[in-house]
Structure 1
């Protein structure tokens, strides 16, 4: 009797446990189905069925696949952290190495847009934009899977480089040109205009050949065809943020141009976009650059070793271009297409022997800078009405615009 009762208890326990596990499994399946639908999975599947003959079809990964690829999101595989998410290095079962982005923020109001944005991003096909390979939609916060770019960020490259010389400049101006071309593509050549909204050197990756790859679209905005600006909550990285956007909350393509101007300064100076080692009024690199210009110490701000007699004019042209990108009025800044074209022209200068030690060079460059800088951006939050003073004599002598930035 006791043995039979014991057996009955065991059987009851086994049956109960099995039923509970089945219930939990069904609950998990339903939860995954809920998240998949909530994150736009139905829309994505419909679009994928239409584009099944396309040359690039994004994959829909399961949570188990990506957990396995990252050893359950092991912290040792973290390759990047930002305000919008964490990036893990992952190893898929087919031996592909990928970057898996796990967002930090759950914004349910954006869930319906997620699939559409994935579709648009999957259609981006530019050698200087990190390629989106797929996504996982069956969890509360969707995961994005990108190609893995294995040579670090432009930020690391600039600030860890020890031997800086003329060859350094050649590599840097090429990287700048490639990044500008990618942003130009996003603004004007993609199927829908995309404002990156967080352009900075940590979001420009480098491959084995130091080819630039613009990455991290966590803050990006898609601009409807009938609009040129968007009213948004302010997002971005201090030191790169467009102060006009900070003041008005009106996001435009020219906000990316301002941020790229800071990237150019970083490439030219080797200094960080924000440094508390500098005086308060010079903590942002843009302000530091302006201060050096006002004090006739422009060449002091350039990184030691980067300039020589052969590349002097190239570097000054890049300085002038950066100044135009940092103008106060966004409408006066060049477009990213114009920036990319100017950088390409600068890259071609080394091929022309007539660009050399011209005696009038310094005076000509100063004059062009005086034309580029009068309406240059100030640091938002600075005292005295947020503006620099001391430009009156320049404003009396030259026009604010420089041929519309060209």
Structure 2
């Protein structure tokens, strides 16, 4: 058996072999341009994710697309000679590389087969961008004056010819003259006048690459390339004169691609996953980091290879009706979840991931490797995954009643939970966490317990979901010092400030969750301190008026003593001192055993916007929660911890 570190290299060799026998998706990077201004808005990342998701769907359907979400404008397009498979391959690679520019508010990437751009304004009809348009020249000059003169003549002729073809025939044209090949492509959003303006400008600029054997012009509205080697796929020929200048030695082609059957398509699609995975450690400096990524990927490949976990991408694509928006169940910071129906009739939830970065590797590995063997009635079961397509997919059991926040915080509640239903959700969540902490043979910390990660089944039974941030450690470890990840408002103070992670961080999050469930309102760290649910419940506790904290939807239809006990448990779990918080096993006993003592809580911490700002310099990235503007998923790095 090959070592895990050899796995990506072996498959990369496999890709190189296949590139000789299949059409070329042209994923070589021609240019990547990142903006110099970073986003200041908290919801920028969520808007970016929504744009990338829509572009993915449109490219899969039509080979190009545009989308606007908030202040993020996006455009993606494959060159018209690429097959559908190669187009998806190229777009997957572009989407893997472009997020390296985040949190810049603008970026664009030119691969030899496709283009992807996002910006903070509507750029769709701009043919030129003098600040960023550039030429990329080859590295091998043609030698000898006769050969150079002939090359220059042929290059000028071919770029003029393909420009005319593209302008007259839908924005795309290819052709050859002698030993020189040319391709012109305008983006679909550019009108005919703009297409001509862009390509004529590109024609003047690209010839400056002479006497190099290749030249590319990367423009805001078009792409133009010449080369002494054929680089494009064959399309239907339309041989003839252009304005009377073409001769019998000039072969020019129409812009309508020929539709063909691509052999070994499943193998080609499998390679898409490889390139996405290879993109994980492209751009991360340092040999040790790359070795760590290769090792993690090798381990992941072993897990995915198990027959009971592996799903074919095509099967899941069909199961979700090609990720039909009507099948979408929800969206988070890293991807969207769709309802799928498998050929055997089983209904599943398919999570579609979008970021192929080191963070993605860690989260995907956790979901598949750490949680695949964990089974409990209060945990969402992971059924399998796929890494064979443009996106990596996770397959879960289908939980029909969505997440808890839909029942608690939506303005138009379809169903209000009774006291007993809320109590059962609290107990079920507690049991699920207790199992993670004590029942698996290793301590697993979820790190992102919140209402949107608690799903409800057909019987409104609680199921903990989303284990992408989970961590485990052995019994002899007191804590982990780790980069901080989670959702503000639910994060324990010792973890948020010092990066010290224990299972008591989950206990704190659970305590906040309990108060939200009982009170029917969301905790917030972005408003004045008086709005903190912790402070509100604490004041009622001091005044011996805890029942007044209960959600007004319940009115008087709840047992006051039991509600007070549950709120007191919530305060116990959110105490500032880690040692004073109970374990989840103790919490389960407090909730289910009438004679089990419930200690008196000490004052919990009150984290608000001002206290969160004191650590703002530690924040390395911010990922807003799609469920509410009141909380944000964050990734923070303690200053003492290298990454």
Please give the TM-score of this superposition, normalised by the length of structure 1: 0.72
Instruction: State the match for 2:602 in structure 1.
Output: 373
Per the TM alignment, residue 109 of structure 1 is displaced from its structure 2 partner at its CA by 6.1
Which residue in the other structure is 2:438 paired with? 188
Q: Which residue in 2 is equivalent to 1:169? A: 419
Counterpart pick for 1:341 among 589, 599, 604: 589
* Aligned mates of 1:120, 1:337 — CA distance in 2: 21
Q: 2:578 aligns with which of 305, 330, 334?
A: 330
Is the Cα–Cα contact under 8 Å of residues 40 and 113 in structure 1 kept in the other structure? no
Contact 1:257 1:333 in 2 (8 A): yes
In 2: Cα distance, 1:385 partner to 1:27 partner: 48
Q: 1:135 to 1:383 in 2, by over 3 A?
A: closer
**Partner residue of 1:138 out of 385, 388, 394:** 388
Cα contact 2:525–2:607 (8 A) shared by 1: no
Shift of the alpha carbon at 1:125? Answer: 1.2
Residue deviations 1:26-54 (CA, integer Å, cap 9, x gap): 654444456579696764675688xx8xx
Q: Secondary structure at the match of 2:485?
A: coil
Distance 1:44 1:231 in 2: 24
In structure 2, the residue matched to 1:83 is 333
Equivalenced residues, count: 345
Residue 142 of structure 2 is matched in structure 1 by none
Maintained 8 Å contact 2:366/2:470: no
- Tell which has more relative contact order, 1 or 2 (C-alpha 8 A, sep 6+): 1
In 1, Cα distance between the equivalents of 2:565 and 2:573?
A: 12
- Counterparts in 2 of 1:32 and 1:110: CA distance versus 1, 3 Å: closer
How far is the alpha carbon of 1:108 from its aligned partner? 2.8
Is 1:205 the counterpart of 2:455? The answer is yes
- Where does structure 1 lack aligned partners over 5 or more consecutive residues? 1-8, 350-364, 387-406
Q: Which runs of 5 or more structure 2 residues have no equivalent in the other structure?
A: 1-236, 239-250, 279-293, 615-643
1:64-89, CA deviations, whole angstroms, 9 ceiling, x for partnerless residues?
11211122222222112222332111
Kept in 2: contact 1:262–1:322 (CA 8 A): yes
Q: Is this contact kept in 2: 1:273–1:285, CA < 8 A?
A: yes
Pair 1:225–1:136, CA change in 2 (3 A): farther
Cα distance, 1:115 vs. partner?
4.7
- The match for 1:120 among 357, 360, 370 is 370
- After superposition, the C-alpha distances for 1:315-351 in whole angstroms (9 at most, x for unaligned) are 11111111100100122101111111111125x99xx
Quick check: 1:80–1:87 contact (8 Å CA) kept in 2?
Answer: yes
Range with bigger deviation, 235-244 or 197-206:
235-244
Report the counterpart of residue 149 of structure 1 in structure 2: 399
Determine if contact 1:39/1:137 at 8 Å carries over to the other structure: no
Q: In 2 relative to 1, CA 47–76 (structure 1 residues): closer, same or farther, beyond 3 Å?
A: closer
Mean CA deviation greater in 286-295 or 313-322: 286-295
Which of 319, 325, 332 is residue 69 of structure 1 equivalent to?
319
Say which SS state the counterpart of residue 64 (structure 1) adopts: helix
Counterpart in the other structure of 2:514? 264
User: In structure 1, how many angstroms separate the alpha carbons of the residues matched to 2:613 and 2:394?
Assistant: 43
RMSD: 3.8
1:311 aligns with 2:559: yes
| Structure with greater strand share of residues | 2
CA gap 1:385/1:209 in 2 versus in 1, 3 angstroms = closer
Contact conserved, 2:273 with 2:391, CA < 8 A, in 1? no
Q: Which has the higher helix share?
A: 1
Q: Is the 8 A contact 2:328 2:336 kept in 1?
A: yes
What is the CA–CA distance in structure 2 between the aligned matches of 1:373 and 1:189, rounded to whole Å? 29
Query: Which structure: larger Rg?
Result: 2
Q: Specify whether residues 293 and 32 from structure 1 end up closer, same or farther in structure 2 by C-alpha distance, changes over 3 A only.
A: closer
